[in-house]
Structure 1
Amino acid sequence: MARPLSRSLPGLSVQSDGQLSVRRNLPEEVPVAVVFDGTTQAVMMASPGDIADFAHGFALSEGFITRLDQVEDFEVVEHEAGIEARFWLTGDRSQALETRRRKMMGPVGCGLCGIDSLEEATRALPKVTAEPRLSSHEVAHATDDLRAQQPLHDQTRAVHAAGFLVPGQGIVLAREDVGRHNALDKLIGALALQGIDPATGAFVLTSRVSVELIQKSAMAGCPVLIAVSAPTAHALRLADQAGITIAAFARGGGFDLYSHPHRITTETPDVP
Structure 2
Amino acid sequence: MTQKISLKRPIVQYSDNQFQSVEDEIATEFPLTIYVNNDEFATIVCTPTFIKEMVIGFLASEGIIRFLSDIKNININEKRGLAYVNLYASQITNQHYYAKRFIGSCCGKSRQFYFYNDTKTAKTSKSTTTITPQQCISLMRQLQEKSNVFKKTGGVHNAALSTPSEMIVTHTDIGRHNALDKLYGHCLLNQIPVRDKILTFSGRISSEVLTKAAKIGVGIILSKSAPTDLAIKLADDLNITAVGFIRGNSFNVYSHSYRIVESTL
| Alignment partner of 1:230 is 2:226 | yes
Which string of whole-angstrom CA distances, capped at 9 and with x for unpartnered residues, describes residues 172-217 of structure 1? 1000000111111111111221221121211111000001111111
Aligned to 1:59: 59
Following superposition, the deviation at residue 136 of structure 1 comes to 1.3
Q: How does 1:90-105 map to 2 (within 5 A)?
A: 90-91=88-89, 93-100=91-98
Which string of whole-angstrom CA distances, capped at 9 and with x for unpartnered residues, describes residues 208-252 of structure 1? 000111111111111111011000000100111111110111121
Contact 1:32/1:85, CA 8 A, preserved across alignment: yes
Following superposition, the deviation at residue 99 of structure 1 comes to 2.1
* Secondary structure in 2 matching 1:199: coil
Aligned to 1:180: 176
How many Å separate the matches in 2 of 1:39 and 1:250? 43
Q: Which moved more, 1:131-140 or 1:147-156?
A: 147-156
Contact 1:141/1:253, CA 8 A, preserved across alignment: no
Contact 1:247/1:255, CA 8 A, preserved across alignment: yes
Name segments (4+ residues, structure 1) moved above 4 Å: none
Contact 1:218/1:242, CA 8 A, preserved across alignment: yes
* Secondary structure in 1 matching 2:59: helix
Q: How does 1:1-272 map to 2 (within 5 A)?
A: 1-80=1-80, 83-91=81-89, 93-100=91-98, 115-119=99-103, 121-122=114-115, 123-124=118-119, 125-168=122-165, 170-266=166-262
How many Å separate the matches in 1 of 2:239 and 2:91? 28
Code of the aligned partner of 2:78: E
How many Å separate the matches in 2 of 1:130 and 1:181? 22
Following superposition, the deviation at residue 32 of structure 1 comes to 1.1
Code of the aligned partner of 2:93: Q
Following superposition, the deviation at residue 78 of structure 1 comes to 2.3
Q: Which moved more, 1:193-202 or 1:225-234?
A: 193-202
How many Å separate the matches in 2 of 1:87 and 1:2? 20
How many Å separate the matches in 1 of 2:123 and 2:26? 38
* Secondary structure in 2 matching 1:52: helix
Q: State the identity %.
A: 26
Contact 1:228/1:250, CA 8 A, preserved across alignment: yes
CA RMSD of the aligned region, Å?
1.6
How many Å separate the matches in 2 of 1:9 and 1:78? 22
TM value normalised by structure 2: 0.89
How many Å separate the matches in 2 of 1:93 and 1:52? 21
How many Å separate the matches in 2 of 1:173 and 1:118? 33
Which string of whole-angstrom CA distances, capped at 9 and with x for unpartnered residues, describes residues 6-35 of structure 1? 110001011342111110010111111122
Following superposition, the deviation at residue 97 of structure 1 comes to 3.0
How many Å separate the matches in 1 of 2:247 and 2:61? 27
Contact 2:3/2:78, CA 8 A, preserved across alignment: no
How many Å separate the matches in 2 of 1:9 and 1:29? 14
How many Å separate the matches in 2 of 1:15 and 1:45? 32
TM value normalised by structure 1: 0.87
Following superposition, the deviation at residue 118 of structure 1 comes to 4.0
Code of the aligned partner of 1:167: P
Aligned to 2:108: none
How many Å separate the matches in 1 of 2:251 and 2:35? 39
